[in-house]
A and B are shown apart, each in its own frame.
Chain A
């Protein structure tokens, strides 16, 4: 059964710092991997989707990489801002549906 782990559970950084969030999964037979942002009490906002055949995706200050063979993905945030403070979740889709989520990393960017 696919398990998704996100480390660290919480992270606090000063404004302007570059940072990396980690996601690992136990079964490399995935269809795609998605990174989401969740603000307190809100739904999830999709940030980046990486298909299994891709190695990375970029959107603005965000860059996500995928290494299927090692079961790892990273989300890189450049020049962090206080508005980036949120919980970031990764999720993997196996070939037959049933997306699996990590518990998330709660990010605080201090001004």
Chain B
């Protein structure tokens, strides 16, 4: 089955901890994205990567970090510097930057 997977589905973090959200795709897409969704708001772009070993900040990159060591994988780390990390995180991929984006099922992060 081709698609995008995210894990875990639910994640709980204590204050001061770093956590890493996984995103994997087997669609052979070059571009991958991380979005944050808060209730009643549209998705906001955290980071995106157009190609392996390259990534750019989106609108709300502060307190987050990413890596793109493999084409299939684009993990997102939520660091302790992110002051309000409780949200729904969505990963997406596309053939390239100008094509239709396909989304994973999301990870809900809650800070305890």
Residues of A within 8 A of B (CB): 4, 9, 31-32, 34, 36, 41-46, 49, 89, 91, 93, 97-104
How many inter-chain contacts with C-beta < 8 Å in the A-B complex?
57
Chain B interface residue count, CB cutoff 8 Å, equals: 27
Q: How far is the CA of A82 from the CA of B35 in the complex (A)?
A: 29
Is there contact, CB below 8 Å, between B103 and A99? no
Is there contact, CB below 8 Å, between B100 and A34? yes
Q: Most chain-B CB neighbours within 10 Å: which of A44, A91, A100, A103?
A: A44
Is there contact, CB below 8 Å, between B104 and A32? no
Is there contact, CB below 8 Å, between A43 and B90? yes
Q: Most chain-A CB neighbours within 10 Å: which of B58, B59, B100?
A: B100
Is there contact, CB below 8 Å, between B42 and A98? no
Q: How far is the CA of A36 from the CA of B43 in the complex (A)?
A: 12
Q: How far is the CA of A43 from the CA of B33 in the complex (A)?
A: 13
Chain B residues with CB under 8 A of A44: 43, 90, 92, 103
Is there contact, CB below 8 Å, between B41 and A46? no
Tell me how far the C-beta of A38 lies from the nearest C-beta in chain B, rounded to whole angstroms. 9
Q: How far is the CA of A102 from the CA of B41 in the complex (A)?
A: 8
Helix, strand, loop or mixed for chain A's interface?
Answer: strand
User: Among the listed B40, B58, B102, B105, which residue makes an inter-chain contact with A98, where contact means beta carbons less than 8 Å apart?
Assistant: B58
Whose C-beta in chain A lies nearest to the C-beta of B104?
Answer: A43
Is there contact, CB below 8 Å, between B97 and A46? no
Tell me how far the C-beta of B24 lies from the nearest C-beta in chain A, rounded to whole angstroms. 14
Q: How far is the CA of A44 from the CA of B89 in the complex (A)?
A: 11
Tell me how far the C-beta of A65 lies from the nearest C-beta in chain B, rounded to whole angstroms. 18
Tell me how far the C-beta of A107 lies from the nearest C-beta in chain B, rounded to whole angstroms. 15
Is there contact, CB below 8 Å, between A42 and B105? yes
Chain B residues with CB under 8 A of A4: 42
Say yes or no: is B50 at the interface (Cβ < 8 Å to chain A): yes
Task: Given the known inter-chain contacts A43-B104, A101-B43, please indicate yes or no for A32 contacting B58, CB distance below 8 A.
Answer: no
Is there contact, CB below 8 Å, between A97 and B42? no
Q: How far is the CA of A82 from the CA of B109 in the complex (A)?
A: 30
